[in-house]
Amino acid sequence: MRSLAEAAAEAADCERCGLAAGRTQVVYGVGDPYAQLMFIGEGPGFHEDKQGEPFVGAAGQLLNKMLGEIGIARSDVYIANVVKCRPPGNRDPLPEEIDSCAPWLHEQVRLIDPKVIATLGRFAGGWMLGRQIAITRIRGQRFPLDGRVLIPTLHPAAVLRSGGKQLEDLRADFEEMRKALEEPRAPRSVGPEAAPGEPDDLGATDAAGTADTPAAMDVATPPEPSDSQLELF
């Protein structure tokens, strides 16, 4: 199994989808490669694209503040996005872009092996759950993820745009993350572990590194959720 640094180095040259043309750099992810808590957002924005790090700027500062309130430093978690290159104009990533990029995220999750995954915002939460969601309704809930716990929460930028009205909700969700981190890890399903890039790990993957679309990624036409969608991780 290769290291996260080796995977990041390979991703830095990725041109699997059209987002490569407009990026400044690939924003692979940042943080502790052995983090127990991993955040997943939608994709890099303007500042992230320039700096090469997810969740910088005001949204990142709010994320750091919420982490601090539960006694965790930013350097102790891992932060990544569904797509690693900035969509133009900060639009939502297209299904084909997500399909192309998902193997990088799948590998990240497998290498980091976090106990708790927290999605930030409607898009990332809906993608992980394989359906369109009302983030304000499901935020803070726990979803089993084959030995992990998924906790969707609000996007810090949206909380800032709300003028602080959603700050207590965000705070409550971080408290839920803290509790989940303190609890024993649920057992994982029994089965042979595939190496990164092998079909059992990333979905059916061809030589070019593009994967068949797992149901969880099809956000344009959301399927019914199923346990198997979450077992991809």
Name the residues that contact ligand SF4, by CB under 6 A.
Answer: 11, 14-17, 19-20, 26, 83-85, 97, 100-101, 104
Given the complex with ligand SF4, which of 40 and 83 has the nearer CB atom? 83
Q: How far is the CB of 14 from ligand SF4 (least distance, A)?
A: 3
By C-beta, is 63 or 85 nearer to ligand SF4? Answer: 85
Burial 199-215 (b: 16+ CB within 10 A, else e): eebbbebeeeebbeebb
State the pairing for strand pair 149-153/143-144: antiparallel
Closest contact distance (angstroms) between CB of 80 and ligand SF4 is 11
Backbone angles phi, psi at 150, to 5 degrees: -100, 130
Nearest approach, Cβ of 13 to ligand SF4 (angstroms)? 9
Nearer of residues 13 and 224 to ligand SF4, judged by Cβ: 13
For ligand SF4, give the closer residue by CB, 43 or 126: 43
Nearer to ligand SF4, 12 or 73 (CB): 12
Residues 6+ apart with CB under 8 A from 192: 200
Q: Which is nearer to ligand SF4, 84 or 115 (CB)?
A: 84
